[in-house]
A = this chain, B = another copy of it.
Amino acid sequence: MVKKVLKFGGTSVGTVERISYVANIIKKEHSTGNKIIAVVSAMSGKTNELIKISKEISEEFSKRELDVLLSSGEQVTSALLSGALIKLGIKAKSWMNWQIPILTDGEHSNARIINMHIDKINKFLDEDGVVIIPGFQGISKNGDITTIGRGGSDATAVAVAKILSADTCEIYTDVDGVYSSDPNKIPVAKKIDKISYDEMLELSSLGAKVMQSSAVQTAMMYDIPLEVKSTFSERKGTKIFNQDNIDYTKSVTGVAYSKDDAKVTIIGVEDRPGVAANIFEPLSKAQINVDMVIQNISSDHKTTDITFTVKRDDVLKTKQILKESAKIKYREIVENNKVAKISIVGAGMVSTPGVTYRMFRALSDENINILAISTSEIKLSVIIEEDNTLKAIKKLHTTFELE
């Protein structure tokens, strides 16, 4: 007998038909003797609709009341799914977070689950009951409703799996797993069967939004095996676990990209200690996230050029701050908004020589100019001209045998 947490996202429970369909998935899992805890999101679109209404009342809508408002979405789905299971003859029960309770640190709209009472839940599971829990929320120590941030139902699922010592946590969604790249845009992208937590984190931070990052982090920390799979197909999904458990046959697992970066170059900066700090300190204070930084040594050894990337939305603010800062002397600022960041991700990279070289060679073969480079243990990112994005991703798929 296996104890499973199954999480169903907004599109999986977006209509009455889909909720009935999900009930059948749960019935099948339950009929094999598994203990099932289902964590559900609000019906797709519902949370945005409620946020919109709150903004019509006030742009600065009370955070406490926003949590009361938004938590109703998952409450509705929980009741409907439980009703659908009961109709199928299964003993099921929706458990509101206050009925369990699931306790959070109390911060509104961005809370963290810190504990959960398990006796009643375990008793109900022992009595062959299916437990339905609304995701994305919890109860603070002083009894307020708190929510845990967008996509928070993933975090609920993983926290519940951890606290109930579940054997596995399955994330049912509208894609059938994690892909080497976005399958809607990159036709050669291939589904990944197994991936490590680290790789999953790098991919999701790079734009492959399948699971919420903090949920993956929690799973990694407590070694909870995850599986991302489709609600609407019987295909195997992507298993996510500790990389020790993965037998890597390939050095690179996936190719991620993002198109919201911009490149800023400050030309003719004084080349002396403390200059970089003078540039990046005011940006950091203004909450501008600087991603990659490159510094070229100038021929005259007196001035240098500094290139870095920021989000496109931050470019104007960045230039304004640089211009207003008395400490920074430079000749010119040049920006390029038409760039893309391409990253190869793979836990096998660190032990495979030549991955870096092969990436640069592959791009060079396609006449793609590299504008900036950044590396980590399991990731290698480059900035290229935006127009070359698809060509680059395709070539990297071929190079690293991801097709």
* Cβ of A54 under 8 Å from chain B: yes
Assuming the contacts A78-B68, A83-B66, A86-B62, asked whether A57 and B20 have C-beta atoms less than 8 A apart, the reply is yes
Interface string of A86-102 (1 = CB under 8 A from B): 11000001101011000
Contact A80 to B69, CB < 8 A, known contacts A57-B19, A87-B58 = yes
Q: In the complex, are the beta carbons of B143 and A16 less than 8 A apart?
A: no
Query: A82 — which chain B residues lie within 8 A by C-beta?
Result: 62, 65, 68
- Chain B nearest CB: distance from A38 CB in Å? 13
Whether A69 and B65, one on each chain, are in contact in the complex, defined by CB atoms closer than 8 angstroms, is no
**Shortest Cβ distance from A52 into B: residue:** B16
Residues of B within 8 A of A54 (CB): 79-80, 83
Q: With contacts A58-B84, A58-B87 known, is A66 near B79, CB below 8 A?
A: yes
CB of A276 closer than 8 Å to a CB of B: no
Interface residues of A in 61-87 (CB under 8 A from B): 61-62, 64-66, 68-69, 71-72, 75-76, 78-80, 82-84, 86-87
A25 within 8 A of B: no
B contact residues around A390 at 8 Å (CB) = none
A118 sits at the interface (CB 8 A): no
Number of copies: 2
A201 at the interface (CB under 8 A from B): no
In this complex, the interface size class of chain A, counting residues with CB under 8 Å from chain B, is: 35 or more
Q: Would you call A72 and B69 a contact (CB within 8 A)?
A: no
Contact (Cβ within 8 A) A68 B53: no
CB distance from A24 to the nearest CB of B (A): 12
| B-side contacts of A60, CB under 8 Å | 87
Residues from chain B with a CB closer than 8 A to the CB of A68 are 75, 78-79, 82, 94, 96
Within A291-349, which residues are at the interface with B (CB < 8 Å)? none
User: When the two chains form the complex, which single residue of B56, B65, B75 contacts A79, counting CB atoms closer than 8 Å?
Assistant: B65
Q: Is A264 an interface residue (CB 8 A)?
A: no
A80–B96 touching, CB < 8 Å: no
* A215 touches B (CB below 8 Å): no
Give every chain B residue within 8 A of A93 (Cβ-Cβ). 64
Q: Does A50 make an interface contact (CB < 8 A)? A: yes
Per-residue 0/1 for A134-172: is the Cβ within 8 Å of any B Cβ (1 yes, 0 no)?
Answer: 000000000101000000000000000000000000000
Within 8 A of B (CB), among A23-70: 50, 53-54, 56-58, 60-62, 64-66, 68-69
23 A-B pairs with CB atoms under 8 Å apart are A16-B53, A16-B57, A20-B57, A50-B76, A57-B80, A58-B84, A61-B83, A62-B83, A64-B93, A65-B80, A65-B83, A66-B79, A66-B83, A69-B76, A69-B83, A72-B72, A72-B75, A72-B76, A72-B79, A96-B98, A98-B98, A98-B99, A99-B143
If A69-B79, A71-B75, A96-B98 are given as contacts, then 19 extra A-B residue pairs at C-beta distance below 8 Å, sorted by A number, are A20-B57, A53-B80, A54-B80, A57-B80, A57-B83, A58-B83, A58-B84, A60-B87, A62-B86, A62-B87, A65-B79, A65-B82, A65-B86, A66-B79, A68-B79, A68-B82, A68-B94, A72-B72, A72-B76
Q: Top 10 nearest A-B pairs by Cβ distance?
A: A69-B79, A68-B79, A58-B87, A65-B83, A72-B72, A16-B56, A65-B79, A62-B86, A65-B82, A62-B83
